Structure 1
Amino acid sequence: MDRTIAEAYFSALDRHFADFMVELAGETSQDRQRSLWLAASLVSASVGRGHVCLNLREIAGQPVSREEDGEERPLLVCPKLDDWINSLRGQSVVGSPGEFKPLVLDKKQRLYLYRYWFYEQQLSESILAMAKEHPLNVDVEMIAEGLKRFFPGTGEATNWQCIAAIHAVMNRFTVISGGPGTGKTHTVGRILALLIEQAKDDPPAIALAAPTGKAAARLTDMVRAIKEDLDCSSMVKALIPEKASTIHRLLGTIYGGKTFRHNKSNPLPFDIIVVDEASMVDLPLMAKLASALHDSSRLLLLGDKDQLASVEPGAAFGDICDGGSTNTFSGVFAESVKDLLSVEVPQQKIGESALTDSIVVLQKSYRFGTESGIGLLASAVKESRLSDALDLLKGKEHDDVFWRHVPPVGSLGIAVEECFYAFYADYFSTRSPEEAMFLFDRFRLLCALRYGPYGASALNQTIEHMCQRAGLIPAGDRWYKCRPVMITRNDYHLKLFNGDVGIVFPDQETGGQLRVYFPADGGGFRRILPGRIKEHETVYAMTVHKSQGSEFDRVVLLLPDRPSRVVTRELVYTAITRAKKSVEVWGTEDVLRQGLSQTTRRESGLRDMLYGGKGSENRE
């Protein structure tokens, strides 16, 4: 491969990996070397962009493209499919599923790095094993009595929260998906009470977990509040844990690597594991969690299938939910629902996967009423109804959604100062880390892009310079009071993980020396010396991806001034649903129109492994 062409398309990491594969494969013809080098480079680049595998069928015979738009490069065209497949199958470094080779090529022409094929296999086997188990022995009369206490009438024709609870009590694996305010955590609190009551004199050990420290802190706060309202004995309430941890801490990270103390050989000592914000969990972590369960453990996943996928490779939660139908169940489970609730639910078609039984999608939002602009806008975006979305944003009927035509690059800084200076002036006047964190979390500027004039990096510089000019920040100081920082790479020694956000503040216990305050599992803060914080960035503004698992009173979404493949329906939906009280979109109609017509797609074979090729993407 010509170095000039290679450098135009692939990172140094991708090129070095491809070089290594060619070297490892040994002597062969130049055509076969080129075929292998290109495939290895592309699969490495695909994983870097969040895909689990490379779909050769889709790119064979096509010019290679990159995420950036409009950049001219020398033409690089992929081989024809049959020629490419035949060439790869004859290489010593390429194997079939189940073979221990660096690259795995499956029957549907998907090329994997071995470890990612293994993660998919591991996760699918774990999930299907749990989903296929017969309903567990339960006290039906006790369930019926508990359902009446915990789930009084909601006004819905079908109470999907109640149905999710029935499934979770009767089965080992349950997925509860729903948008903001649909009551996922509310439901799981009642599920835990039902399970504790079922256990009688042998109470279950329960763990609560989330992907990030911020999400774990939110889960802790919500469970504490929910427990107070439960109509059950104080003994049952006492057995529901209040403290949630990160998944990494739950599994027990071993410093210096990505392995964990708890695994298949040393399973977690819990009977019930609840994971909130599961859409943020990448494929490797989800696979490691599932393999660390006891043979009798229950796993409850909570999330929103319509949000963006995880930052790291895979879209495990979305793939698990992608069975092709919503809220359809087996005849056995449908009969149980009818017996307990006198309600009939849709039944699966013959031949559908047992997994669809395990997935319940909550329909009703209790946070956003029928007249909520945020709720209506989220629905319009989720359903790609551009005209309705623009009418909501530009109209005057709702006081919680707003539209602003994005300013040109030359005047963007002026617009930022006009709109946000007052907020940051208040923020820098806070007198404690608690007050600073509380105020900081009330507002966030979310960017679709990371780089470029409308990207988070540029906006962070703009806001920091604005605050320096106003005297809020000492010029030239890297560490200063109220500087918000976000971890950009896992630090297993400090137990800080990618996406964790902290605030710099004077520590009164050390005479006012600066410390970085990070929310601690279970509440409070961890104080860390700034010099110990390694890879991080200032985070007045953040990308929408990094905002997952967080909520803010007010959100401003900054879209670029021209269309980008990064702007998708899921990205806009995720940004809007971070807002609790108001959301303002800065953009152009063209950018929003194209964004709502594009969906975020992660190449993966997990859907096929779980549903036998019958997921929604494979249906007519």
Structure 2
Amino acid sequence: MEDAFEKIGREGLERFSGSVEGVIYANEENGYTVFDFALDNGEVVTATGTLPYLAEGDSMVVYGKWVHNAKYGTQLQVFEYESVMPETETAMLRYLASGAVKGIGPKIAARIVAEFGEDTFDIMENHPEWLSQVQGISRKRALEIGEDFRAKAGMRAAMMLFREPFGAEATIRMYRRWGTAAVEVAKRNPYVLCDEIEGIGFEKADAFAASLGFAKDSSERLRGGIGHVLTRNALQNGHTCLPRDTLITMASATLGVEEALVGEVLSELLGQGRLTCIKNGDEPYIFEKYTYECEKYIADKLALLDKTCISADIREIDRFIEREELAHGLTYAGLQRQAIIDAMSSGVMVLTGGPGTGKTTVVRALLRIFNSMGLKVALASPTGRAAKRLSESTQSEAKTVHRLLEFSYERENESVFLRNEHNCLDENVVIIDEMSMTDTFLFCALLKAVKPGAHLILIGDADQLPSVGAGNVLHDIIESGRFSTVKLTEVFRQAQESLIITNAHRIHGGEMPLLNVGDNDFFFLPRESDSAVAATVADLCRNRLPKAYGADIVGRIQIITPSHRGEGGTDNLNRILQATLNPASAHKAEHAFRERVFRVGDKVMQVRNNYEVEWARGAQKGMGIFNGDVGEILSIKTAEKIMEIRFDDRLVSYDFSMLEELELAYAITVHKSQGSEYPVVIIPAYRAAPMLLTRNLLYTAVTRAQKMVILVGMTDVVAAMVANDRQTLRYTGLGLHLAGGKHGT
């Protein structure tokens, strides 16, 4: 093979030239392809790499290296390539005869090349109607051939231009979005890529724009930067808007331009209606248009539901409650009784309260009463785990909100709910649990599907952390005072026996948890350094807990920690716990991705909503794996670049290009734990950033445990968390809308 390539300086890669003999396998989602490659010396080898839309007859120069696969033998792994359009009549004939262009087979290919010779490709691209001169080609077919030829040429041009700055997967998404216009769209304004194409952020688009010569103060860059700051703050900090001055300061720092210039462009965007402004007192708040419309819709629909619901007569409600108490041999506490009355007599009702205060008892009562009235009830929660827990506690079917709304998928990056304002839910009563987790956009979609006249009952612990996604919906609804709200405060006797619940309420009230009570369900292991905390957490999982409770307990443990960083953070703990609980082995496949290694048997978490991925549950199939879903890696198929994962009872195949959506989940952050409960929770109390050591963060972590909490760390860190009642600051517009906020400029 030595005469088929030349040694080059591209990081030790070798240069090969030849043509595609045949395509063995092609993944349309990420472009991964296995093909027979005919080298210029006549030898045919098997090659692999990310080469989307490859066709038999394609001429290429590739850069790669030889690798040995235990199953498939020696292969050429391609890292870079350059398409070379055939220039001779013989090469053109071979390319067209391969079926690379729709509508052309070997016979027609021979006639076309015989007619036009070396001008064939020029004719096909620029004058396809001339192909009708060839026997067997009508004018309509000629134009279709030209369209397909230009499409493939456009894909090649897009791949050549975008592969290096954006990667093959993003380039495929661009081509699917804009087709042959992808190059023109991106060159005209690279910053549209941030909004339209998943996987392309502002930094990548900005670097690409600079390479095209866009000025630092160009209007396209300034508009893109302002949008980027709003989007980044929604994703990272949960804001649905920003004060005008804050936005200008942030955008100026991000873009490296004067604040006055940002202010001018911001005013233009507001004047064009591309951004929206509401006055909060004298301070203008700036929104992206869609976010503004979502919060406005939420406020309007809540008001409509509260107005249009037909409430039951109070005497009739009392009779229902009395029959319930008699039938089940219980007496509802005063606030529980009030919650039942308010839920039946209000269009919108909020039920909140800490652990052990009887929220589930109220929900069970409402289900029985509404069912006895002949009303249809929907039970839902934001996550699969929360929905499963709700179903178990109420003995009734509960769905995720996505499933309730009949999620579907139509095109790239666009999720569609089949239940909406044009196809409302059939149920007369909609009960949503874990409302503190529900973000602005999901709640807006839910409200669109709730029919006027229905009861909407929102349940959650308002003292937990706000949603991971943008907004602070439950908090804003309660603070508005517009809707019936009952907060349960009495901790019932059975719950009082749990030190988990006792300590949760002590933490909520600003008191130190009881740390030295033995023989219960809450334990404290004092440690004096962060490294000792991490070592103890690993020892608990590997030795102490399995020895005391049996090996099966390992699968029921969840480490919940304040941060990704530090020795007690998820990054470090996941490395330690992976090595401890699922060490490398010759019998376990693994795959390195960036700074992580994924291994068969690993516990992993999905960290963003993916509406495109397909799952299977036996014969049943569905779409979507969502932020916070936890699974186990069953297999890793390196040759096919596929990883199989089981999320509860759903089996999913992940392409390697999707691995940025996964994290190891032996240890997770408190935010990621919301809506889930675990038999055993271990909480590292280590010296993280003060802004992370808050009371409601510790409270949220403790309330995730069903049977046991083990707090590992420093007493002064626990005390600092209890003392720090700092609430997460979120700029949102829902409260302003509920209060009748006004537009401003």
What is the TM-score normalised by the length of structure 2? Answer: 0.60
Offset at 1:584? 2.7
Q: In 2, are the aligned partners of 1:119 and 1:284 still within 8 Å (CA)?
A: yes
* Partner Cα distance (1:367, 1:20) in 2: 64
Q: In 1, are the aligned partners of 2:350 and 2:459 still within 8 Å (CA)?
A: yes
Matched, 1:598 2:722: no
Hey, what does 1:417 align to over in structure 2?
A: 538
Q: In 2, are the aligned partners of 1:17 and 1:41 still within 8 Å (CA)?
A: no
Q: Identify which of 358, 370, 377 aligns with 1:206.
A: 377
Hey, what does 1:460 align to over in structure 2?
A: 574
1:421-451 deviation per Cα after TM superposition (whole angstroms, max 9, x unaligned) = 1378689997xxxxx7xx4563211011123
* Partner Cα distance (2:697, 2:246) in 1: 25
What pairs with 1:542-561 in structure 2 (closer than 5 Å)? 542-561=668-687
Hey, what does 2:293 align to over in structure 1?
A: 118
Q: Are the structure 2 counterparts of residues 428 and 191 from structure 1 closer, same or farther at C-alpha, using a change threshold of 3 Å?
A: closer
1:431-482 deviation per Cα after TM superposition (whole angstroms, max 9, x unaligned) = xxxxx7xx4563211011123432212211111111355x899565467665
Matched, 1:150 2:361: no
What pairs with 1:275-424 in structure 2 (closer than 5 Å)? 275-323=432-480, 353=481, 355-356=482-483, 358-366=484-492, 369-370=495-496, 372-383=498-509, 385=510, 388-389=511-512, 392-393=514-515, 395-396=516-517, 399-406=520-527, 408-422=529-543
* Partner Cα distance (1:210, 1:543) in 2: 20
Q: Kindly provide the amino acid, as one letter, of the partner of residue 464 in structure 1.
A: Q
Hey, what does 2:403 align to over in structure 1?
A: 249
Offset at 1:247? 0.7
* Partner Cα distance (1:473, 1:424) in 2: 28
Q: Are the structure 2 counterparts of residues 427 and 476 from structure 1 closer, same or farther at C-alpha, using a change threshold of 3 Å?
A: farther
Offset at 1:308? 0.9
Hey, what does 2:352 align to over in structure 1?
A: 177
Matched, 1:268 2:443: no
* Partner Cα distance (1:587, 1:363) in 2: 30
Matched, 1:106 2:274: no
Q: In 1, are the aligned partners of 2:311 and 2:347 still within 8 Å (CA)?
A: no
What secondary structure sits across from 1:263 in the alignment? Answer: coil
Gaps of 5+ in 1: 1-10, 66-72, 225-241, 324-352, 431-435, 507-513, 520-524, 614-620
Hey, what does 1:90 align to over in structure 2?
A: 267
Q: Kindly provide the amino acid, as one letter, of the partner of residue 275 in structure 1.
A: I
Hey, what does 1:164 align to over in structure 2?
A: 339
What secondary structure sits across from 1:389 in the alignment? Answer: coil
1:491-530 deviation per Cα after TM superposition (whole angstroms, max 9, x unaligned) = 3233321111123569xxxxxxx964333xxxxx234456
Hey, what does 1:136 align to over in structure 2?
A: 310
* Partner Cα distance (1:165, 1:496) in 2: 35
Q: Which has the higher contact order (CA 8 A, sep 6+)?
A: 1
Q: In 1, are the aligned partners of 2:237 and 2:730 still within 8 Å (CA)?
A: yes
1:17-73 deviation per Cα after TM superposition (whole angstroms, max 9, x unaligned) = 89999xxxx99x9699998676544323211223333432674897899xxxxxxx9
Offset at 1:141? 4.2
* Partner Cα distance (1:449, 1:315) in 2: 21
What secondary structure sits across from 2:344 in the alignment? Answer: helix
* Partner Cα distance (1:476, 1:427) in 2: 31
Q: In 2, are the aligned partners of 1:17 and 1:44 still within 8 Å (CA)?
A: no
* Partner Cα distance (2:279, 2:443) in 1: 24
Q: In 2, are the aligned partners of 1:444 and 1:555 still within 8 Å (CA)?
A: yes
Q: Kindly provide the amino acid, as one letter, of the partner of residue 630 in structure 2.
A: V
Q: Are the structure 2 counterparts of residues 466 and 220 from structure 1 closer, same or farther at C-alpha, using a change threshold of 3 Å?
A: same
1:108-166 deviation per Cα after TM superposition (whole angstroms, max 9, x unaligned) = 31111111111110111111222244x7253544422221233479888x621111111
* Partner Cα distance (2:600, 2:436) in 1: 34
Gaps of 5+ in 2: 1-198, 592-597, 616-623, 636-642
* Partner Cα distance (1:38, 1:526) in 2: 40
Q: Kindly provide the amino acid, as one letter, of the partner of residue 609 in structure 1.
A: H
Q: Are the structure 2 counterparts of residues 44 and 504 from structure 1 closer, same or farther at C-alpha, using a change threshold of 3 Å?
A: closer
Matched, 1:44 2:231: yes
1:78-136 deviation per Cα after TM superposition (whole angstroms, max 9, x unaligned) = 95xxx799746631x125xxxx7222122231111111111110111111222244x72
* Partner Cα distance (1:588, 1:84) in 2: 49
Q: In 1, are the aligned partners of 2:522 and 2:710 still within 8 Å (CA)?
A: yes
Hey, what does 2:607 align to over in structure 1?
A: 488
**Percent of residue pairs bearing the same amino acid type:** 27
* Partner Cα distance (1:213, 1:306) in 2: 22
Q: In 2, are the aligned partners of 1:172 and 1:296 still within 8 Å (CA)?
A: yes
Q: Kindly provide the amino acid, as one letter, of the partner of residue 536 in structure 2.
A: A
Q: Kindly provide the amino acid, as one letter, of the partner of residue 406 in structure 2.
A: G
Q: Are the structure 2 counterparts of residues 146 and 293 from structure 1 closer, same or farther at C-alpha, using a change threshold of 3 Å?
A: same
Q: Kindly provide the amino acid, as one letter, of the partner of residue 585 in structure 1.
A: L
What secondary structure sits across from 1:580 in the alignment? Answer: strand
Q: In 1, are the aligned partners of 2:528 and 2:714 still within 8 Å (CA)?
A: no
Offset at 1:179? 1.3
Hey, what does 2:628 align to over in structure 1?
A: 499
What pairs with 1:227-246 in structure 2 (closer than 5 Å)? 242-246=396-400
Q: Kindly provide the amino acid, as one letter, of the partner of residue 526 in structure 1.
A: R
What is the TM-score normalised by the length of structure 1? Answer: 0.71
Offset at 1:407? 5.3
Q: In 1, are the aligned partners of 2:305 and 2:348 still within 8 Å (CA)?
A: yes
* Partner Cα distance (1:75, 1:585) in 2: 44
Q: In 2, are the aligned partners of 1:62 and 1:77 still within 8 Å (CA)?
A: no
Q: Are the structure 2 counterparts of residues 252 and 412 from structure 1 closer, same or farther at C-alpha, using a change threshold of 3 Å?
A: same
Hey, what does 1:540 align to over in structure 2?
A: 666
CA RMSD of aligned residues (A): 4.1
Q: Kindly provide the amino acid, as one letter, of the partner of residue 277 in structure 1.
A: E
* Partner Cα distance (2:669, 2:342) in 1: 36
* Partner Cα distance (1:88, 1:564) in 2: 36
Structure of greater Rg: 2
Q: Kindly provide the amino acid, as one letter, of the partner of residue 403 in structure 1.
A: F
Q: In 1, are the aligned partners of 2:226 and 2:247 still within 8 Å (CA)?
A: no
Q: Identify which of 512, 515, 518 aligns with 2:647.
A: 518
Q: Identify which of 437, 443, 446 aligns with 2:557.
A: 443
1:305-346 deviation per Cα after TM superposition (whole angstroms, max 9, x unaligned) = 1111111111111211224xxxxxxxxxxxxxxxxxxxxxxx
Q: In 2, are the aligned partners of 1:449 and 1:560 still within 8 Å (CA)?
A: no
